[in-house]
Amino acid sequence: MDTDERQTSGERMPQAEASTMRAVVQHRYGPPDVLGLADVALPAPGPRDVLVRVEAASVHPGDYFVVTGTPYIVRLAFGLRRPRHGIPGRDLAGVVVAAGADVADVRVGERVFGWSAEGALAEFARVPARTLAPTPDDLTAEQAAAVPTSAVTALQALRDVGRVRAGQRVLITGASGGVGTFAVQIAKALGAEVTAVCSARNADLVRSLGADHVVDYATTDFTRTGERYDVILDTVEATSLTAVRRALAPAGTLVPISGRGGRWIGPLGRVVRTRLLSAFTRQRLRPFTSVGRRADLLALAELLGTGQISPVIDRSFALADAADALRFVGAGHTQGKVVITL
């Protein structure tokens, strides 16, 4: 197949003479204004990597923390004085244009979605093949890019940590956010009765995702209604652990997955307090950090393909407007996901 045929079939390859690409770059920590657009070297895939032509990427609060370098604990993982990888972003969707010699599960020309450890806000990304899955046929690149981190977090929190079963009562705080919108749908797919906590303006959204009950946090304190839940997925840390436990069944499970905390250790303080408290109660208090697994991407692809879950996209930005996208995410009031299109 010659180059023209590949381009016609949608498998556009990087031109042989191309050695650079456009990318969002970051040379220091700071507010989103530190981000810029520049030409950088085109990465070459290693033996177990593929090169993906990025069609869309999504950003979430974790990306905002990495860009700003706060809480400072994130710098232990991403670089003490400056970001180790100069291109921000993690979640992406696109087309495989080259593959390493040892790659067997991903094909050149295949539409994929998943994670890049070296930055997703660029025209191309080098990605380990084991962190990608085929994009379901009915999904656009923008929808697929919205899935990886947030949906995997929701899936692992409910299925693996919360052990949600059919007939259980599940409450989800921050139900209209990136993780929350997926969590409502996944909990319903697992057969739960779902109560969503969000603002009044997002009530119709979460109901459309399958929520059986909606609590407006501005007018109702869910911890004082007398209702008890088998599993609570707390995505916002707006309520103290003591208060949240009032709404938890005696042998229920609380899964806190977020919280900004202070400038130094961020949500780690809440994680430590939760683990210490769990030793003195029948209630299961289980903070966790999601792990990127291809098996979970494949499980989500099946749920997406059957229509049991669908990404909610708040708004899209161009690559050149990545700073605006991160600033919007950092404000903390997104409805679903924020996507950057290329």
Round to whole Å and give the CA distance between 323 and 31: 9
* Residue among 74, 84, 87, 129 nearest 105 (CA): 129
Q: What is the pLDDT of residue 10?
A: 37
Predicted TM-score (pTM) of the model is 0.89
The mean pLDDT value for 305-316 works out to 96
Residues whose CB falls within 8 Å of the CB of residue 82, separated by 6 or more in sequence, listed in order:
27, 28, 29
The mean pLDDT value for 158-175 works out to 97
pLDDT at 13 over 50: no
Q: What is the pLDDT of residue 246?
A: 94
Q: pLDDT above 70 covers what percent of the chain?
A: 85
The mean pLDDT value for 176-186 works out to 97
Which of the four pLDDT bands, split at 50, 70 and 90, describes residue 283? confident
Round to whole Å and give the CA distance between 261 and 236: 11
CA 151 to chain CA centroid, nearest Å: 6
Q: What is the pLDDT of residue 288?
A: 80
pLDDT at 150 over 60: yes
Q: What is the pLDDT of residue 9?
A: 35
Asked if residues 70 and 31 have their Cβ atoms less than 8 Å apart, the reply is: no
Residue bearing the bigger pLDDT, 273 or 92: 92
Query: In the chain, what are the domains?
Result: 3-147+311-341 (3.90.180.10), 150-285 (3.40.50.720)
Round to whole Å and give the CA distance between 123 and 100: 19
Round to whole Å and give the CA distance between 258 and 288: 9
Q: What is the pLDDT of residue 242?
A: 85
Q: What is the pLDDT of residues 52-75, one digit of tens each?
A: 999 999 999 888 888 887 766 666
* Poorest-pLDDT segment among 93-97, 245-249, 287-291: 287-291
Residue bearing the bigger pLDDT, 14 or 232: 232
Q: What is the pLDDT of residue 3?
A: 38
Q: What is the pLDDT of residue 289?
A: 79
* Residue among 335, 341, 317 nearest 32 (CA): 317
Q: What is the pLDDT of residue 64?
A: 85
Amino acid making up residue 249? A
Q: What is the pLDDT of residues 257-269, one digit of tens each?
A: 865 555 644 556 6
Residue bearing the bigger pLDDT, 77 or 113: 113
